[in-house]
């Protein structure tokens, strides 16, 4: 059992790694091939047998140790191999003293259909478990092995370079040193924290670092494993090439990300148009009802009409925001969010896409942990998975979206070694579609791979999902069977940092005397200009209205302006340029920008100083007044 386990683990090493490893053992050890011919032996092994590598190399170990001349017989060989596979020691006599040896099977990664053994030779009068840092320790070491190996104390000192890089220059040797002696202060502190956690909690921890372990500065992944009582084994794996490949993949995915969105947006268009027309119908019907009201006006009836119009505007605004977020090319902007709230906000749009015959059911655990994720990425992930599920189900079916808190170790996830240990929020998306076979599952995250017919899909949907999950430090797993549907499990790491409290808009504007405040309102859309000006005037502010930047400049030359509220994208000059021009003569001028475009587009056009003084249309009057108060308060201070 132990042998087969090690056989699987040691497959990850190359033959040259084993040859190097042999010389790091404190005990007499050699490496043999599948025919028991000696490949490498350490000095202690050669010393005990009073021989040399030139005498042993290429010779059958059984024949040499058992005193057989020439080649050992086939039946004897088979009996010995049978004993080895059962984990039994092979006894022999050397110069009158009884010895024994144990063999551990290995398969070098760069070998094809062949294997060998690492052999431990016991010393006279000594049991193979009595030595200090011996083979049984190395059995544990190699069960985790990749890359280079270091033994560390609980305070981070490098006690032993168990398997250092080959032919490394002395200046890069770190035996006897502590992290702070060869890493910068921040990296050293992080490493020491990982070591502390590993020792105290007896858990495996991971860390990625950019480090000059050899002549080049490369990227390394370090795995810290608890060892003995107060020690840690650090497995250092060079991931520079992996990082390079991942970067190229990310660039490739980003290149085709926009193209892939066209497929999903095409599906959305009909639903959006239908829904938007319904909203417009509500607005128009209520507006016409208000128009025909005759005096004396029934204000209760009028208020109902007005509230319906405002609700419709909010619905349209939410829909447009979701569509712009999904279709726009945004930089990665992670936020601390509650996935329960985020997905609830997305459900109406998702249900519009699925239609009435495909049910979307959503459930979430209470007190869901927060995660750090770009909300626009979450929308894209869900949209792609839902569209994929629709294709798999046809006209009818059910999609279940579930959220729950999980701990990777507690739930016993398969392939747990691929995960960083700890807490996650698990997002599950399951459908009742046709399912997939194992061969299809192995390819679904590859760019351009599709099971749809020619011209019916880009094959970028699930590739995009995979890229976005990884970008947000998550993991994605898929399980499926033909005829039994498909389930995607996405694990997002729990956010454990501090959460900034959001500012609540308060309905109070009593800090200033509005009639003493001059506001210059600039908007090239006449209807919007009149409506916003009227609302501000009703609150007592003195408002100067301008339908162009040039008119605004003329007004500012004649009157002192306390606050400029301006659209950004306008003819003649944009809002940012206008604000700069006015500030030349009025440096204390405060400015609020407003636009129907997303902030990132506005920034490209006008280079906004901060989104703090930006209002995205359509905005509520309460939000506008809150922003006005904030700007004027800042002006006073």
Q: Specify the CATH number of the domain 514-636.
A: 3.40.50.2300
For the chain, residues with pLDDT lower than 50 are 1-12, 70, 109-113, 128-133, 143-144, 329, 416-417, 454-459, 501-510, 601, 605-606, 610-611
According to DSSP, the β-strands at 397-407 and 423-431 are antiparallel
3-class DSSP assignment, residue 496? coil
User: What does DSSP assign to residue 505?
Assistant: P
Is the alpha carbon torsion for 107, 108, 111, 112 positive or negative?
positive
Are 149-238 and 246-493 equal in CATH topology?
Answer: no
Q: Which tokens in the block code for residue 102?
A: 């144990």
Determine the pLDDT at residue 598: 57
How is the chain split into domains, by residue range? 2-140, 149-238, 246-493, 514-636
Strands (E) in 188-263, as ranges, are 205-211, 218-227, 231-238
d(CA 579, CA 587): 10
Q: Which tokens in the block code for residue 447?
A: 């760019």
3-class DSSP assignment, residue 539? coil
d(CA 452, CA 450): 5
443 CB neighbour count, 10 Å cutoff: 13
Do residues 52 and 46 touch, judged by C-beta distance below 8 A? yes
Q: Which tokens in the block code for residue 310?
A: 């405002």
According to DSSP, the β-strands at 358-364 and 397-407 are parallel
Cis peptide before 296 (omega within 30 of 0): yes
d(CA 365, CA 58): 63
Do residues 61 and 32 touch, judged by C-beta distance below 8 A? yes
In the chain, helix, strand, coil percent, each to 5?
45, 20, 35
Give one DSSP letter per residue of 38-65, joined into a string.
EEEE-HHHHHHTT--HHHHBTSBHHHHH
Q: Top-level CATH class of 2-140?
A: alpha beta
pTM across the whole model: 0.42
Kindly list the distances between the CA atom of residue 363 and the CA atoms of 366, 368, 399, 423, 490, in Å, as whole numbers in the listed order: 10, 11, 11, 19, 15
Residue written as token pair 């006008």: 606
Kindly list the distances between the CA atom of residue 126 and the CA atoms of 122, 123, 163, 513, in Å, as whole numbers in the listed order: 7, 5, 25, 94
434 CB neighbour count, 10 Å cutoff: 18
Q: Top-level CATH class of 246-493?
A: alpha beta
Determine the pLDDT at residue 101: 74
Strands (E) in 22-147, as ranges, are 29-32, 38-41, 90-94, 97-106, 116-121
Is the alpha carbon torsion for 541, 547, 549, 554 positive or negative?
negative
Exposure letters 569-585 (e unless 16+ CB within 10 A, then b): ebeebbbbebbeebeee
Give the CB-side neighbour count of residue 596, counting CA atoms within 13 A: 9
Residue closest to 107 by CA, chosen among 4, 13, 237:
13
Determine the pLDDT at residue 16: 58
Q: Specify the CATH number of the domain 149-238.
A: 3.30.450.20
Determine the pLDDT at residue 602: 52
User: What does DSSP assign to residue 73?
Assistant: P
3-state secondary structure labels for all residues of 510-535: CCCCHHHCEEEEECCCHHHHHHHHHH
Backbone torsions φ then ψ of 532, nearest 5 degrees: -70, -40
């Amino acid at each position: 059992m132990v042998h087969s386990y090690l056989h699987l683990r040691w497959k990850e090493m190359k033959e040259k790694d084993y040859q190097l490893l042999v010389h790091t053992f404190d005990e007499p050890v050699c490496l043999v091939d599948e025919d028991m011919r000696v490949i490498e032996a350490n000095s202690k092994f050669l010393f005990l047998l009073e021989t040399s590598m030139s005498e042993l190399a290429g010779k059958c170990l059984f024949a040499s140790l058992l005193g057989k001349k020439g080649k050992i017989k086939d039946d004897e060989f088979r009996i010995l191999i049978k004993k080895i596979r059962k984990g039994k020691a092979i006894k022999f006599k050397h110069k009158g003293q009884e010895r024994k040896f144990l063999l551990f099977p290995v398969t070098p990664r760069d070998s094809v259909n062949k294997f060998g053994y690492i052999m431990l030779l016991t010393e006279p009068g000594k049991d193979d478990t009595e030595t200090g840092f011996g083979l049984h320790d190395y059995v544990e070491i190699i069960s985790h092995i990749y890359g280079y190996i270091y033994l560390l104390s609980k305070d981070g000192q490098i006690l032993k370079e168990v398997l250092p890089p080959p032919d490394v220059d002395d200046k890069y040797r770190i035996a006897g040193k502590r992290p702070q002696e060869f890493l910068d202060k921040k990296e050293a502190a992080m490493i020491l924290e990982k070591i502390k956690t590993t020792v105290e909690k007896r858990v495996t921890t991971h860390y990625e670092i950019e480090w000059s372990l050899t002549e080049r500065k490369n990227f390394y992944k370090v795995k810290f494993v608890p060892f003995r009582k107060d020690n840690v084994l650090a497995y250092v794996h060079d991931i520079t090439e992996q990082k390079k490949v991942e970067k190229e993949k990310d660039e490739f995915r980003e290149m085709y990300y926009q193209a892939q969105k066209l497929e999903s947006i095409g599906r959305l268009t009909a639903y959006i148009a239908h829904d938007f027309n319904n909203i417009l119908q509500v607005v128009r019907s209520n507006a016409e009802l208000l128009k025909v009201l005759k005096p004396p006006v029934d204000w209760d009836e009028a208020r109902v009409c007005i509230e319906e119009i405002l609700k419709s505007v909010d619905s349209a605004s939410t829909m447009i925001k979701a569509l712009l977020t999904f279709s726009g090319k945004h930089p990665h902007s992670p936020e601390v969010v509650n996935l329960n709230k985020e997905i609830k906000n997305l459900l109406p749009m998702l249900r519009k896409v699925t239609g009435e015959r495909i049910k979307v059911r959503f459930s979430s655990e209470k007190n869901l942990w927060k995660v750090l994720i770009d909300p626009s990425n979450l929308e894209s992930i869900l949209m792609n998975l839902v569209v994929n599920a629709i294709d798999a189900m046809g006209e009818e079916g059910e999609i279940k979206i579930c959220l729950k808190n999980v701990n990777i170790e507690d739930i016993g996830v398969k392939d747990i070694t691929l995960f960083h240990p700890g807490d996650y929020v698990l997002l599950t998306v399951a459908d009742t579609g046709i399912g997939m076979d194992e061969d299809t599952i192995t390819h679904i995250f590859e760019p351009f791979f599709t099971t749809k017919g020619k011209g019916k899909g880009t094959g970028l949907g699930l590739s995009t999902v995979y890229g976005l999950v990884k970008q947000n430090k998550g993991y994605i797993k898929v399980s499926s069977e033909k005829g039994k549907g498909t389930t995607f499990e996405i694990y997002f790491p729990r956010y454990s940092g501090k959460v900034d409290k959001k500012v609540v808009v308060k309905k109070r504007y009593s800090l200033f005397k509005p009639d003493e405040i001059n506001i210059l309102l600039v908007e090239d859309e006449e209807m919007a200009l009149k409506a916003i000006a009227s609302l501000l005037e009703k609150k007592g502010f003195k408002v100067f209205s301008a339908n162009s930047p040039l008119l605004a400049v003329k007004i500012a030359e004649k009157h002192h302006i306390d606050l400029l509220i301006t659209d950004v994208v306008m003819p003649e000059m944009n809002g940012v340029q206008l604000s700069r021009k006015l500030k030349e003569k009025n440096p204390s001028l405060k400015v609020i920008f407003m636009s129907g475009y997303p902030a990132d587009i506005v920034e490209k056009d006008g280079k906004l100083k901060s989104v703090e003084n930006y209002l995205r249309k359509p905005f509520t009057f309460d939000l506008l007044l809150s922003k006005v108060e904030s700007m004027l308060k800042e002006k006073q201070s």
